[in-house]
Chain A
Amino acid sequence: MAGASPIVLAEDLTRHYRVARKEETLLGTLRHFFRRQYHTIRAVEGVSFRIHPGEVVGFLGPNGAGKTTTLKMLTGLVHPTRGRALVAGHVPQRREKAFLKKITLVMGNKQQLIWDLPAMDSFRLNAAIYEVPEGEFRKRVLELSEMLGILDKLHQPVRKLSLGERMKAELLAALLHRPEVLFLDEPTLGLDVNAQVAVREFIREYNRRYGATVLLTSHYMADIAALCPRVLVIHQGRLLYDGALEGLLDRFAPYREVGLTLKRPLPREAFLPFGEVRELEGRELRLLVPRERLTERVAEILKRLPVEDLEVRDPPLEEVIARVFKSPMEAL
């Protein structure tokens, strides 16, 4: 895999924005009217990575970290200030037809389907624009709508569909031209758990069936954990981590979680010598214990506390990520 040429290449990818700054007072407003002051926002700063064909990569970062700007540079919507990108052999911002036919971008908070018409009309439009032959178009719609379980929804106006059904129809519209590279920006945003799982399963199946490359951002760790063996972590515009999901835990969470059920409840102070108390409810508690002292602490706990049951596990991914993003850049 490492020897094959990457399908997505980002080298020192950088994007700065110049934004007008205005003070909120009346004077500030007047000043803003006559002489604008600008400052530069470094949305993405020197990001480099490679993704190989068929990989599913998770893109993590808090709001405003630069995830979406990076996706926009990789899809050619936004021109980089510095650095270069190469996707499926094309320079994205040239927006060549051959390039646009090889990629797709799905944004969970935006829709491309025509609101007042049945989804089928939007599909037909996309098929014509992407020059998908009629027979192939019918075959793909049938296949994808079966995979997504929306076969009976295609002839209803989009505005009558539920959020989950709409997202599935969006995915179908975005995949009709069978792109090689999928950029998915929060595809499960706002969906209920069932719909989230369905979309997730679909992405997995699509990748397996067609060998498509996927770069996915999501706020739901369950999406990332289920789909992405590899993650990129971006924070304040800079790439912080590129590697396996487990490695992320090792690097940013030098803790294990010890779950305890006691024979009788004890006050919080009783646990302080053993680790950081994350949660305490009646006889149940969760303790964070430094990895290197785990054995020693567990032995102590078993010796000194009235333990009924004990379990050692990795802390939840959400907590690890939250910890990473709360720390200042220099500390990481």
Chain B
Amino acid sequence: MRKAKTLLAVYLAYMLEYRAELFLWALAGLLPLILLGVWTEAARGGGFPLSSGEFARYFLMVFLVRQATVVWVVWEFERDVVEGRLSFRLLRPLDPFLDHLAAHVAERLARLPFVVLLTLLFFYLFPEARFTPEPGPFLLGLLLTLLAFLLRYTMQYTTAMLTFWTERATSVEEVFFLLYLFLSGTIAPLEVFPEPLRELALLTPFPYLVYLPAALLAGQRVDLFPGLWIMLLWGVAFLLLARLLFWLGLKRYSGQGA
């Protein structure tokens, strides 16, 4: 417990050194709010499964879910390997998986004020997005956001393990990001996908990273099952794969650059 507390406190201090950058990063996550403008406008014409107010709420929640699930571990890990800093992490009796996770959680706390500020601004600009959520689905949505963060972190950590082989694992992540962008519901809610594509997307891990938690938070009617099981299954699969790759990677590791 003391370990976790100190890790968070020190990493929070570290993140706060980069306040300006954090603000810019939060701003860089504004894509959903731009899309919101597009979709609400389109919805005014009718013919969509969601009303323009529902679109506004959905994209606001997409913005919040994405802010809560930002992950950059693959870039960090790649730099660690290339610059030889991984050696220091490996010498400590703390798994790098948990070390990086703590830094991510601390960053989340440091980012919070900016996100609140941007949300207030958003409510001011889009009054139709204001709503009082039902506590049950909203709490469930928060829980799913936490799970989404853990899933995204585990997925990217798995990609990061490829650094042991390629030293350019970030390129692989960029390919993943394309899939993420389309299948996660960041660009459009899954309701507007053609049926076969929607069913296919729901078998991949991506919709659980954004769509499912955002839709729950926005108060949309969504089926929790079997989605939650698929999400957990992917989580466990990536976790096991990450452990396997870490183990294999260490055998190859030459501690270069250090």
Which A residues contact B (CB, under 8 angstroms)? 17, 68-69, 72, 75-79, 93, 95, 97, 100-101, 103-105, 107, 109-110, 112, 114, 116-117, 121-122, 124-131
Judge whether A116 and B14 touch: CB under 8 Å: yes
Residues of B1-37 at the interface with A, using a CB-CB cut-off of 8 Å, are 2-3, 5-7, 9-10, 13-14, 17
Contacts A114-B10, A116-B14 given: A105-B91 contact, CB under 8 Å?
yes
What sequence of 0s and 1s flags, for each residue 240-258 of chain B, a beta carbon within 8 Å of any chain A beta carbon? Answer: 0000000000110111001
Do B253 and A117 have beta carbons less than 8 Å apart? Answer: no
Contact A114–B6 (Cβ < 8 Å): no
Chain B 174-205, CB-CB to A under 8 Å as 1, else 0, gives 00000000000000000000000000000000
| Across-interface contacts of A122 in B (CB, < 8 A) | 10
| Cα distance, A42 to B85, chains bound together (Å) | 24
Q: What residues of B have a CB within 8 angstroms of the CB of A101 in the complex? A: 93
Q: Is B51 located at the chain interface by the 8 A CB criterion?
A: no
Q: Which residues of A contact B258 (CB under 8 A)?
A: 68, 72, 107, 109-110
Given A78-B253, A117-B14, decide whether A97 and B93 contact each other with a Cβ distance below 8 A.
yes
Does B165 lie at the interface of the complex (its beta carbon under 8 Å from any beta carbon of A)?
Answer: no
Within 8 A of A (CB), among B76-99: 84-85, 87-88, 90-94
Beyond A78-B255, A97-B93, A116-B17, whether A110 also contacts B10 by CB under 8 A is no
**Count of CB-CB pairs between chains A and B under 8 Å:** 76
In the complex, what residues of A have CB within 8 A of residue B93's CB?
97, 100-101, 129-130
Majority SS at the chain B contact face: helix
Q: How far is the CB of A171 from chain B (nearest CB, A)?
A: 14
Tell me whether A117 and B91 are in contact in the complex, defined as CB-CB below 8 angstroms, given that A78-B254, A79-B251, A110-B258 are known contacts. Answer: no
A77/B14 contact (C-beta < 8 A), A100-B92, A110-B258, A129-B94 known:
no
A residues less than 8 Å from B2 (CB atoms): 128
> Quick one: which of A69, A79, A105 contacts B87, CB cutoff 8 A?
A105
CA distance A93 to B254 in the complex (A): 12
**B5 neighbours in A (Cβ, 8 Å):** 128
Note all chain B residues with C-beta closer than 8 A to A95: 90, 250
CB contacts (< 8 Å) of A129 on chain B: these are 3, 7, 92-94
- Shortest C-beta distance, B85 to chain A (Å), equals 7
Write the nearest CB–CB distance from B82 to chain A, whole angstroms. 13
Q: Is the CB of B84 within 8 A of A128?
A: no
Instruction: Tell me the minimal C-beta distance from B5 to chain A in angstroms.
Output: 8
**Cβ of A125 and Cβ of B6 under 8 Å apart?**
yes
Q: Are B3 and A128 in contact (CB under 8 A)?
A: yes
A77–B253 CB distance below 8 A: yes
Cα distance, A101 to B250, chains bound together (Å): 19
Q: Is B14 touching A110 in the complex (CB atoms < 8 A)?
A: no
Say whether, besides A77-B91, A129-B92, A117 and B3 are in contact (CB < 8 Å). Answer: no
* 25 A–B contacts from the bound complex (CB under 8 Å): A17-B254, A72-B87, A72-B255, A75-B91, A76-B91, A77-B90, A93-B250, A95-B90, A100-B91, A101-B93, A107-B258, A109-B258, A110-B84, A110-B85, A110-B87, A110-B88, A112-B85, A114-B14, A117-B10, A117-B17, A125-B10, A128-B5, A128-B7, A129-B93, A129-B94
- Chain B residues lying within 8 Å of A17, measured Cβ to Cβ, are 254
Q: A95-B90, A95-B250, A124-B9 are in contact. List 14 more A-B contacts (CB 8 A).
A: A69-B255, A77-B90, A78-B254, A79-B251, A100-B92, A105-B87, A110-B258, A116-B14, A121-B13, A124-B10, A128-B3, A128-B5, A128-B6, A130-B92
Q: How far is the CA of A127 from the CA of B250 in the complex (A)?
A: 25
